Amino acid sequence: AQTVTQSQPEMSVQEAETVTLSCTYDTSESNYYLFWYKQPPSRQMILVIRQEAYKQQNATENRFSVNFQKAAKSFSLKISDSQLGDTAMYFCAFMNPNNAGNMLTFGGGTRLMVKP
Amino acid sequence: EAGVAQSPRYKIIEKRQSVAFWCNPISGHATLYWYQQILGQGPKLLIQFQNNGVVDDSQLPKDRFSAERLKGVDSTLKIQPAKLEDSAVYLCASSLAGPLRAFFGQGTRLTVV
Q: Verify whether the Cβ–Cβ distance A101 to B55 is below 8 Å.
A: yes
Among A44, A107, A109, beta carbon nearest to B106: A44
Which of these, B110, B81, B104, B108, lies nearest to B29 by C-alpha position?
B104
Q: Find out whether A12 and A112 touch, Cβ atoms under 8 Å.
A: yes
DSSP three-state, residue B8:
coil
- What kind of fold does domain A3-115 have according to CATH? Immunoglobulin-like (2.60.40)
**HEC readout, A16-35:** CCCEEECCEEECCCCCCEEE
Note the pLDDT tens digit of each residue in B31-90: 999 999 999 999 999 999 998 899 989 999 999 999 999 888 999 999 999 999 999 999
> What phi and psi values does residue B87 have, to the nearest 5 degrees?
-60, 120
Note the pLDDT tens digit of each residue in A31-81: 899 999 999 998 999 999 999 999 889 999 999 999 999 999 999 999 999
Average pLDDT over residues A77-86: 98
Note the pLDDT tens digit of each residue in A6-19: 999 999 999 999 99
pLDDT reading at A20 higher than 90: yes
A52 touches chain B (CB under 8 A): no
Query: Which of A44, A50, A110 has the most B C-beta neighbours within 10 Å, making it the best mutation to test the interface with B?
Result: A44
Q: Please give the domain boundaries of chain B with CATH numbers for all domains.
A: 5-112 (2.60.40.10)
pLDDT reading at A100 higher than 70: no
Interface A–B counts its CB contacts (< 8 A) at 56
Cα–Cα distance for residue pair B107/A44, rounded to 1 Å: 7
Q: What does the pLDDT read at residue A48?
A: 96
Instruction: Label residues A55-91 b or e (16+ Cβ within 10 Å = b).
Output: eeeebeeeebbbebeeeebebbbbbeebeeebbbbbb
pLDDT reading at B98 higher than 70: no
pLDDT reading at B99 higher than 90: no
